[in-house]
Structure formats: C-alpha cells, structure tokens
Chains A and B, each alone.
Chain A
Amino acid sequence: MSRRLDVDVAIIGGGLIGSSAALALRGMGLSVALLDKGFCGAQASGVNYGGVRRQGRPVEQLPLSQRAHAIWPRLRALIGIDGEFLRSGHLKLARDEADMASLEAYARATARHGLGLELIGHNELRERFGWIGDGIVGASFCPGDGHANPRLVAAGFAAAARRAGAKVLENTAVTGVTRDGEGFALEAAGNLSLRARFVVNSAGAWAGPFAESFGEPVPLSRIYPSMIVSEPMEKVMSVNIGIEGGGIYARQVERGNVVVGGERGLPLADPDFSRPRGDGALAIMNRAAELFPALRHAQAIRFWSGTEGAMPDRNPVIGPSLTTPGLIHAFGFTGAGFQIAPGVGEVLAELVRDGQTQTPIAAFSIGRFSQPSARTDAGSGAGQDQEPQPGELRP
C-alpha cells in the first residue's frame, strides 16, 4: 500500500536539530513531515554527554550558541518537560600553566560575547571546588552553562513537534530525494511518497549521501563518543566539568549518577551502532577516580555510545544548499550539537520562511568545502587527528 504526503517542509533526520526545526516551523504555521530512519532522538541527540555548554566553542559558534542559551530555560514552556536542564555552571580545568594561559586567551577572545567567564586561580579553586583532586592549577568558570538529560530532551522535542501537528514518521528511511519542478519529491520506506517545497537535511552522521546527491560532497566522518555512568552517589560535583586539552569530562545528575566521557567507542558490524572498548573505558574510569576522589569507591553501572557526524574543522554545516534552491543543510556537529540545537532549529525555520536569518552562520556554509584549498579526508576518524577533541562531549 502506498501513501502520499504533501507538506511545506520535509525534514530528513529526527534528531534534536530536525525535531527543534519541526517545532519552530509548526510555530510559523508551515506543514512539516519529520522523517527518521529509526527512532527520533535515538542517535547522537539522545546519547550524547548532555553538556549544555557555550564555553570552549569556536568563537564563530557563539552567536548561535547564545541564541540557544536563551531557549534552554524555557524548555518546559516549549516542549512540556525541563529535560532535567540544570544551570550548574561549566568549569574548565587547567592541568598546567600553559593550559591556564589557553583558558585566559579564550576568555579574552570571547569577551564581547558575554559568556561571563570567571578565571579561577589555584587557591580559589580549592576553596570553591574542594572535591577536585590534585594536579589542577586553575580553571575557567562559565556560570550560565550547565547540563541536561539528552535522552529526554531529544525525544521531548520530537514529541512536542508531533503534538504541534508535525507528521512524525519513525522507522521511515528516506531512500531518494530529487528536485522536481517547484519543490522536491521524496521516496521513503513503507512505500511513502512525499512532496515538499523545502527539504532540511538534518540526518546527522547519515547526511553525507543526501548532500552528495545534490552535488555537494562533504568530508563527513563518524565519531562514536562513549559515556560511562556510575551508580548513584552522594552529591559532590556541583558543576559540569571539562578540561583544557580534552580527555575527560564529567557531570553529576540530580539523582546522583556521575556521567563521565572522553573515550571514543568503535563501530560494531552494523556501523550505525557502536560500543566502547574495554581498555578505553577503564582508562577513563581510572582517570575520573583520580580527578574526583569522591568517586574512588564508585562502581560503573552502564556505558552508552552513539554515532555522530563529524567535520574536519569541528564546525557544523548549517545553511542553504549552494546548488539547489529549497534545500537546507544542518549536520556535522562533531560532538557539539546538543547545546546549540534548539537555536539551530529556529535558524532553520527562519531560513525556510524568510530565506535568511539574523544569526550569523556564514562560517558554517557548505561552500567552504568546495574551495580548492579545503583539504578533506572523509572517512578518517575525526577525533584521531584532532587535539583537542571537539565537542559537547568534552564540555
């Protein structure tokens, strides 16, 4: 049995980007189909670390990040749940003077963006964050940052979009998209045919082929950030923790579990799924117990990992296609999509409605990869040749 749907906007990929775009577009009165090959929010959006962090982002991301920053406290009004969002602050640690100098340089470079960063010296760190172990010389604190529960936020946006009237089609892989007259013709699993005036390509790690089919190949690779969760512990970690240079990040949720990341998993036989390596997981666990002495008796009770699309320059692709009118890309968030996603959703909706947005996104144009100078190495693990590792996953 074949089905036909006619919508203003077809969104490929029901992650946080696609779901928040769907919700924003419904708010503008446009009809929307949100298609996911699996379940909405089941990939990177739902299984990332959960850092809601502006600090540490490349400067060019900060206007977009600030826009998203204003949305997070309004989640309950927007999607009906707060997603366990906690404005705890984000503390980025320095292991030595050189790292501290980097944090200071970042604070200077971003001063005009209003992150309110506080540089904290060794003694003050001892006083304010005595639960952090030895070997840390200082830190940079961003009081307005925090963390949230990705499992709930991603699914929450998709559910809110559905309630707002978006057609949310799960287990509905898009098998073909073509530009067709005034719009697009899409073919999807279950004999579904769609017509849409606009297409948003928010397919995350699976976005590459869609871009390529419109003549816009991108060096999109995959990373598999993996997390370790402790049993519930007494509350000690008051802030979301990252470390300059990368390697480990950690936060404690309201219920007491500590979430620790910093390790990359490896894909399974089905490369859409991944799992941490035992030795890598142990290394991160040991490091967490050393950095946070209160965890030295804790047990790890579960791991998770997800598949993320990564770009070689750590910046996502956001913006209109340069080959195809009506096509808009938003993917490749390289482990740093969680915090800015709600802002990206609004920007995408504006691009559909107005053809432009006030938020600067030029740096994220897909055009940067069509320049002869842009070196691409699609297929290599993005995290392996980049130090520090990018991302939300390393707040």
Chain B
Amino acid sequence: MNAHSTRTRLQPLIVGAGPAGIRAAQALVAGGLRPLVVDEAPACGGQIYRQRLVPDQRSARDLYGSEAGKAEALHRDFAGLAGKLDYWPQALLWNLRDGRADIMVSGESRQVAYDGLVLATGATDRVLPIPGWTLPGVFTLGGAQIALKSQGCAIGSRIVFLGSGPLLYLVAWQYLKAGADVAAVLDTAPFAAKLSLLRGLPLFPGIVLRGLRMSAELKLGGVALHDGVADVRIEGTDRVEAIAWRRGGREHRFACDGIGYGLALRSETQAADLAGCRFAFDPRDRAFLPERDAAGRTSVPGIYLAGDGAGIAGADAAERSGERAALALLQDRGLPHDAGRAAALERELARIGRFRAVIEAAFPFPAHWMGGLADGTTLCRCEEVDAGAVRDAIARFGVHELNRLKAASRVGMGRCQGRVCGAAAAELLAHETGRGIEAVGRLRAQAPVKPVPLTLALAARPEAAE
C-alpha cells in the first residue's frame, strides 16, 4: 500500500452542519467522495436554521419566516445524503493537529485522520461589555432567537433588544410576530450611518426592503425604535429590571425584564487556528481571520474554510462558500469538478461581499465604547475580571500584546477561552496603549476548543474510515 493509496482512502472531514457544511457535504458526495460530517448540534441546520428538539404547533414559516424555503431545502437535502456520508451529531471537535482531529462523541474521544478538511464552524454574537450585562435576563441576540425558535420561549415579559446589525431588527420582529411584548429596539448605530443602506438597494433590493418593512411593522406594533443609543447601562439586583442609555445628551430609561443584545457576529476560528492556518487582520470585521482565497483554500494545503467561520457574510453566502470550498477540495484532489459552477459561485460571493461592506457601514461596531468603559464593569464573564483590573495589568506589566494581557490579567482564560470577551479585550488594550486594533494581536487558540470532561476516554481504535 503506497502513500497515495493510504491518503485517498481517508475521508474528507467537514466540521459543522450549518448551511456551509451541508452544501459542502452535498458537493463532495456529488463528486464521488464520502465525507464525515461532525456537528455539535443534535440536528443539522446550524444556528440560523436550527431545528427544534421536538416538533410543536409552529410551521417552518413561523420559525424561519421568509427563509423557510431555504431552511427546509437544507434540512431535506442533508437528510437525502444519508447513507452517502457519515454524520456524527452532538460531536465536538476539541483538538486538531498533524492531520488528526480529536472528536468527542457518544461519551468518548475519537481520533480521526482525514484527507481534506472543510471548516464550517460558524459564528457567535459579537458583544462588548456594558454595566449589568451579566445579569440574568440578558441574552445575546442569537440566544434570544434560539430561545424563541428552538425552545418556544420568550426571554421575558417586557423585552428590549439592544445592539446593531440586521439581526437586531430580525429578532425583535420575530418576537413581535410570536406574540411577545417587545418594548423597544435600541440601535447603537446613528441614523446617518444607516443611510448607507441605500447603497445596498441595487445589490440586494429584497433584503433591504424586507429590513425596512420589519422596522415599519415594529413601529406599527407599538415598539419604540431608537437609534444612536450610547452609554448603555443595564440595571437590576438579581435580574434585569431596567435599561438606561443616553442619546444626544438626554438620559432615557426603560423598565424591562429581558434584553437581547448583540453587535453583529464574530467568526469561530479556533479550529482553523489549531490546524495551523495563517491569520491576517480583516478591517471589515475588525478581527484576525484565517487567510483564504476566493475558493476557501487556507494557507494549509487540504484545509478549506466556508461560511461565517471564515468572516461574517451570512447564511446565503455560507451555502455558496460551502459548495465552493468542496469544489476546490475535489479539484485539488484531481477529481472532476464543475469549473463553471465554481466561477459562478465566486461571482455571487463577491456580490454578497460588497453588500456586507454596506451593512458594516450602516451598523458600525462601537469600538469606542471601550475607552469609556467604567472600571467596575465586568469584562471577562468567566473569570470575572473587570475593566479596572485589565487596565491595572496593562500598566503594571507594560502589556501591549493580547496574549500577554491574558497572561497578566486572566482575560480570556476561562471556560469560553475568550470567545465572548476577546474582542473587547483587544479594543480596550488598543485604546489604553494607543495602538491600532491590528497591532495588539489575537488570542492564540489552545485546545480544548470547548470544555471536555477529565474522565473523557480515548476510543479504543483510531477512526480512519475508508
């Protein structure tokens, strides 16, 4: 058995069964390969097209709104691949090195050798710390959406949505339609910025008009809409009781018992980092992202990126980038692939990319908040490190690099490994040291990607599926 035959007997591995992972799997199967798909969720769909644990009285239209057709198509198409791929739901990729993935599934850890790796690890909400944000009743926008769609629960009886980006209005609108009491939508973006949405009209008129319609329906539904919201403070003792903010020098306050909060999304890049992919600073996302070409190839041969894990572009882009990455994998393995289709996908991705730039301009990330962050505000939720302690560490140790800040302050050292506070810590460090955000570096990922039990047992035999 020569090296080549050993190589080609290994399966490609796809991490994530959201829109990107599903379309990648479909394209690999069409190309004659049998991928292994691992995903943390019990069912496919990712966060955006997440499925319920059990059915309830709601229809797909109730759950996914205008995107119901896309959601159903993805769920159906993935189900149709059964027997042509291997699929491990509720499986956590927790370590990755030297062409092997360590995956926790069914209570054991399996070592998986692969040939070709598509990382479709998705995104989570991007947030910045604000006073009171650890109080019960404050959830991310994504969390609020999951509570509603997947669990059929509202995050309170009088709810305020705070933050910026299309998801802010979408989630508020979904809550309104579901019969929840939505008190207000507080947009941190100034009105003037949102005028740039008009530039998005010729690119994707449907999306822009849908957003405007949601705003109008929220207003008609009695929801207070405010923009240019600043100096936000969440009040409460044991849970959320109110939210206060300033706009144009005036103080405002709303009583509420649930808050959905998010400032757009951030990519989940730990797996790409562990895989050794080279990173570069992306000014649009204000984050270090794994480098990739238009097809999704990373700096490491045989490793491809797709979906929001490679930079935020949304679900429609994820479907296309998943398929595109799979075509690149086929091509790189010397297998037949549809070059025309690949080119068409890249054109569509480029168009979506231009639209993303418009969205970012319309809903700018309020990085400047970190300059004024009160010392007593918790920055790292896991380790309970407040802004003052971070400032002390920066001064005491003369820190100007993010991993050194972690070492000196514990920021990003807890259970979430900096997923939640990493962006804030970088912004605060940049502000305190007077450096650009790109100059303070990025938190290096370490295994485990998420917590794993000390008693986790290594599976008896390595998986090297044929």
Residues of A within 8 A of B (CB): 39, 41-42, 46, 80-81, 151-152, 155-156, 158-159, 162, 228, 230-231, 266, 268-269, 275-279, 281-283, 285-286, 288-289, 295-304
Contact = CB atoms under 8 A, between A and B. Distances in A.
Given A159-B398, A281-B95, A303 B448 contact: yes
B447 interface: yes
A42 B400 CA distance: 13
Given A155-B397, A231-B415, A275 B408 contact: no
Given A155-B408, A282-B457, 10 more contacts: A42-B407, A46-B407, A81-B396, A266-B97, A276-B95, A278-B109, A283-B458, A285-B453, A286-B455, A289-B455
Interface in B67-108: 94-95, 97-98, 100, 102
Nearest to B418: A302
Nearest to A158: B397
Contact of A282 (B97, B274, B396, B458): B458
B404 A155 contact: yes
Nearest to A302: B446
Given A42-B407, A301-B415, A275 B447 contact: yes
B206 to A, nearest CB: 44
Contacts of B192: none
A278 B111 contact: yes
B344 interface: no
10 contacts: A151-B407, A155-B407, A155-B408, A277-B97, A278-B109, A282-B456, A299-B415, A300-B452, A301-B451, A302-B413
B270 to A, nearest CB: 11
Interface in B412-436: 413-415, 417
A279 B417 CA distance: 21
B451 A300 contact: yes
A268 B457 CA distance: 25
A144 B288 CA distance: 46
Given A231-B415, A269-B276, A278-B102, A302 B458 contact: no
* Of listed B97, B397, B413, B417, residue having the most chain A CB within 10 A: B397
Interface residues of B, number: 33
A85 B97 CA distance: 34
B97 to A, nearest CB: 6
Contact of B448 (A41, A151, A288, A301): A301
B456 to A, nearest CB: 6
Interface of B: 94-95, 97-98, 100, 102, 109, 111, 274, 276, 396-398, 401, 403-404, 407-408, 413-415, 417, 446-448, 451-458
A297 B453 contact: yes
A275 B94 CA distance: 13
Contacts of B451: 231, 299-301
Contact of B447 (A156, A289, A298, A303): A303
Interface residues of A: mostly helix, strand, loop or mixed?
A: mixed
A66 B77 CA distance: 69
A298 B396 contact: no
B414 A42 contact: no
A151 B407 CA distance: 6
Nearest to B455: A289
Nearest to B415: A301
A14 to B, nearest CB: 12
A20 B408 CA distance: 18
A228 B447 CA distance: 10
Interface residues of B: mostly helix, strand, loop or mixed?
A: mixed
B407 A285 contact: no
A304 B446 contact: yes
A285 B455 contact: yes
A247 to B, nearest CB: 16
Contacts of B417: 301-302
A288 B454 CA distance: 8
A301 B454 CA distance: 10
Contacts of A269: 276
Given A42-B404, A155-B397, A303-B446, A230 B458 contact: no
A152 B408 contact: yes
Given A159-B396, A276-B447, A300 B454 contact: yes
Contacts of B413: 302
Nearest to B396: A159
Contacts of A285: 452-456
B453 A300 contact: yes
A151 B399 CA distance: 13
Nearest to B108: A282
Contacts of A42: 403-404, 407
A39 B403 CA distance: 10
B447 A301 contact: no
Contacts of B453: 285, 297-300
Contact of B276 (A46, A268, A281, A296): A268
Contacts of A297: 453, 455
Pairs A-B, 4 closest by C-beta atoms? A278-B102, A299-B451, A151-B407, A278-B95
Contacts of A156: 397
B454 A289 contact: yes
Contacts of A230: 454
Given A299-B451, A299-B452, A301-B417, A278 B407 contact: no
A296 B448 contact: no
A288 B452 CA distance: 14
B454 A151 contact: no
Nearest to A282: B458
Contact of A39 (B98, B102, B404): B404
A23 B262 CA distance: 47
Contacts of A152: 407-408
Contacts of B448: 300-303
Contacts of B456: 282, 285-286
A152 B457 CA distance: 33
A299 B97 CA distance: 21
Contacts of A286: 454-457
A162 B446 contact: no
Contacts of A301: 414-415, 417, 448, 451
